[in-house]
């Protein structure tokens, strides 16, 4: 693929100011980056997990010391408010680093596997974890720091080199990431970045990484997967969501209402696990709606220190939100107010009297809309929540924890929370990922490190016998002896019955026993005769 080196202007969604100019990465440059990454990755993989963690440890200090500057970069690049940048982008990375400092060495350690002394005489078995090599990480614009650095850290700790391609809408944050890691004692070329849009992403895949980690929308994820399949390259996909929140009448309604507003409108709804469908039990629907209407009227949109919602990152996403809003009203839904727009700033809105066939209930909105639908019982709630093509996260609200967890167990999602929203995905020890068209693969927790490494199985024989029982020569008697051995191990009946009917076969294979033969056969005879030693 040929890519012309063209400039990209980074413009702030807050006020349109120019944040920087960047040159797209060419296919030739990507080939050079891949070669450098392989050299650096080989040196990095030779280090122990503890040594890698020690070299990455200063990143914690840098994130803490530079937090205000990082927040400002995120605010200007994405439009989000400062609190969202701090809690949604920086804090989860500190938690993840802390978790892996404590647990990564144990997670990635090799382990022994028991072996049968009959089938594998004198042998030991083990499983080791190895890094893939070079991981390509394609990340989105909504959380450009966290959703790039979290998989990046996981890749590096597991022993990989990495080439990141941040969204073309968040290039200043991509540059910030490179600068944050530049002060660490890492092999040259271990971390690099590619600049550009979809064409550069395709060229990065064509450059031949050993693993692709993609976070983004469903259509872009499909395109990345198709591209990777041509090589083929293993893929981890973190795609979109249409997350449901289920509120039962016995829930703490004021708390649940506050959670619904936060879950739906955090980062202006530009969160893959935003509450995009709210199901409320009919008997408390009107009371709950009143709480929501009161709460949404108090939310502040703007750039000030007290603002709850900032700017939308892209005009394209605003158009999608508007289309979902218009479609709902055209089909009879009611709204808390007009969808007011001022530049990239968009006011949040509630929708009720919605139906399952409306776009706002089927398609990912990724913006500040919250549609509300009533349900009658648990069965209805589960059926409604499981409808649709996505399965990322869900939230269940009830004072009956057993009931809430039972409902959670029926939902087709990769993650759930009871009486909380969004926060569960930030737990560093819990794996995060979706089912259905929300993607596959996991990161965070032990599963994250395991996803960025692959298992190697090993068997070591210490036998000094001239041959193994399965080696040549074959004969009819050998075949019958093998049948007898298999029946002894896996057949029906008591141990005594299996020994009695397969005694000739066991005698034929006694030379392969890994234990003291004299004592073993003595014990077998005692068992056959019913005597005790």
Backbone φ and ψ of 40, nearest 5°:
-65, -40
**Alpha-carbon gap, residue 73 to 360, rounded angstroms:** 32
Helix axes 401-408, 378-386, angle to 10 degrees: 40
Q: Which of 272, 284, 363, 447 is catalytic?
A: 272
Nearest CA to 496 out of 445, 470, 531 is that of 531
Q: Which of 238, 276, 364, 447 is catalytic?
A: 238
Quickly tell me which residue has 């249409």 as its tokens.
Answer: 242
Pairing relation of β-strands 211-215 and 134-138? parallel
Quickly tell me which residue has 């020569």 as its tokens.
Answer: 473
Quickly tell me which residue has 């890094």 as its tokens.
Answer: 131
Rg (CA), the chain: 29
| Cis peptide bond prior to 103, omega within 30° of 0 | no
**125 three-class SS:** strand
Instruction: Please name the residues in contact with 209: beta carbons below 8 A apart, sequence gap of 6 or more.
Output: 34, 133, 134, 135, 136, 163, 233
Element (H, E) at 391: strand 390-391
**Alpha-carbon gap, residue 339 to 347, rounded angstroms:** 6
Helix, strand, coil % over all residues of the chain, rounded to 5: 45, 20, 35
| Active site (annotated) includes residue 272 | yes
| Active site (annotated) includes residue 238 | yes
**Residues annotated as catalytic (active site), given as ranges:** 238, 272
């Amino acid at each position: 693929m040929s890519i012309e080196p063209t400039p990209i202007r980074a413009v702030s969604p807050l006020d349109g100011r120019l944040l920087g100019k960047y040159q797209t990465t060419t296919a030739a440059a990507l080939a050079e980056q891949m070669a450098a990454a392989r050299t650096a990755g080989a040196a990095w993989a030779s280090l122990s997990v503890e040594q890698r963690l020690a070299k990455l440890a200063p990143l914690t200090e840098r994130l803490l010391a530079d937090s205000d500057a990082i927040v400002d970069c995120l605010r200007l690049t994405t439009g989000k408010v400062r609190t969202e940048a701090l809690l949604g982008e920086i804090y989860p990375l500190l938690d993840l680093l802390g978790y892996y400092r404590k647990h990564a060495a144990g997670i990635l350690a090799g382990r022994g596997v028991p072996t049968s002394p009959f089938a594998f005489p004198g042998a030991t078995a083990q499983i080791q974890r190895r890094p893939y090599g070079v991981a390509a990480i394609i990340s989105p614009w909504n959380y450009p720091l966290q959703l790039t650095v979290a998989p990046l850290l996981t890749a590096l700790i597991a022993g990989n080199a990495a080439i990141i391609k941040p969204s073309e809408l968040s290039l200043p944050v991509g540059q910030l990431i490179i600068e944050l890691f530049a002060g660490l004692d890492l092999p040259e070329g271990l971390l690099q970045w590619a600049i550009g849009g979809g064409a550069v992403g395709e060229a990065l895949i064509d450059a031949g990484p050993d693993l692709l980690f993609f976070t983004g929308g469903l259509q872009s994820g499909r395109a990345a997967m198709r591209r990777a399949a041509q090589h083929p390259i293993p893929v981890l996909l973190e795609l979109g969501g249409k997350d449901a929140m289920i509120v039962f009448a016995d829930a703490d309604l004021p708390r649940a209402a506050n959670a619904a507003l936060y879950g739906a409108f955090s980062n202006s709804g530009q969160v893959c696990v935003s509450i995009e469908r709210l199901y409320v039990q009919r008997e408390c629907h009107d009371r709950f709606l009143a709480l929501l209407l009161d709460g949404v009227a108090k939310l502040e949109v703007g750039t000030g220190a007290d603002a709850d919602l900032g700017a939308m990152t892209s005009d394209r996403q605003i158009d999608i939100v508007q289309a979902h809003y218009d479609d709902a009203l055209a089909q009879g839904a009611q709204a808390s107010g007009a969808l007011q727009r001022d530049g990239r700033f968009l006011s949040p809105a509630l929708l009720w009297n919605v139906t399952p066939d409306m776009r706002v209930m089927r398609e990912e909105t990724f913006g500040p809309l919250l549609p509300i639908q009533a349900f009658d019982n648990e069965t209805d709630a589960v059926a409604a929540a499981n409808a649709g093509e996505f399965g990322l996260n869900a939230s269940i609200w009830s004072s009956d924890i057993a009931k809430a967890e039972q409902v959670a167990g029926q939902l087709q999602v990769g993650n759930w929370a009871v009486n909380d929203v969004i926060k569960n995905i930030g737990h560093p020890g819990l794996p995060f990922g979706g089912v259905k068209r929300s993607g596959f693969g996991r990161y965070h927790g032990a599963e994250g490190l395991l996803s960025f490494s692959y298992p190697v199985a090993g068997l070591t024989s210490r036998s000094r016998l001239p041959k193994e029982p399965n080696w040549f020569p074959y004969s009819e008697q050998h075949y019958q002896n093998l049948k007898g051995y298999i029946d002894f191990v896996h057949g029906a009946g008591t141990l005594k019955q299996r020994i009695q009917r397969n005694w000739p076969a066991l005698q034929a294979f006694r030379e392969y026993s890994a234990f003291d033969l004299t004592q073993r056969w003595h014990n077998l005879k005692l068992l056959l005769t019913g005597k005790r030693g």
